[in-house]
Amino acid sequence: MRTALPCLVFATALGACAAPPAQRPADRAAIEKQVAETERAFAKTMADRDLAAFSSFLSDEAVFFSGPEPVRGKAAVTAWWKRFYDQPTAPFSWAPDRVEALDSGTLALSTGPVLDPAGQCVGRFTSIWRQEAPGVWRIVFDKGGPCSEQ
């Protein structure tokens, strides 16, 4: 029994050093697909004229570079974006054309064109999404730029 004890202690210590499940690489392709689907659902809130649904995709600590100064927090971002939901038709639309995720599966970037009602590119968005619960992605940063950025 005396030789078994050191082996048991070593095995227990070795197990404690193993990476926790959250540290294992995620299935990046599946994560990127999930984020692209989430981004499309987020964009659908504009087409549906649903500001409450728009707000549900925002992290509580979201930062949007929507004006001259960053807009911070879910309530402030929602209030700032309300102007785009007030009219009966959407002033623009967007869709992701590229998504990249960290190997950890905790953060992802989505980017794509912003189109006017005639389908002309008027800008490009870049959003950073954080997985806040399994399968639940919320925007933490968002910034627009010119159509030529990629």
Q: What is the mean pLDDT of each run of 10 residues along the chain (150 residues)?
A: 42 42 71 98 98 98 94 98 97 98 96 98 98 96 87
CA–CA separation, 125 and 49 (whole Å): 19
Rg (CA), the chain: 21
Give pLDDT, residue 26.
Answer: 75
Q: Which residues of 48-67 are buried (b: 16+ CB within 10 A; e: fewer)?
A: eeebeebbebbbeebbbebe
What Cα–Cα distance (Å) separates residue 128 from each residue in 15, 45, 63, 122?
A: 34, 18, 10, 20
CA–CA separation, 39 and 61 (whole Å): 18
Q: Tell me the pTM.
A: 0.81
CA–CA separation, 20 and 24 (whole Å): 7
- DSSP summary character for residue 126: E
Q: Torsions phi, psi of 77, nearest 5?
A: -65, -45
Give pLDDT, residue 48.
Answer: 98
Give pLDDT, residue 66.
Answer: 86
Give pLDDT, residue 148.
Answer: 81
Give pLDDT, residue 121.
Answer: 97
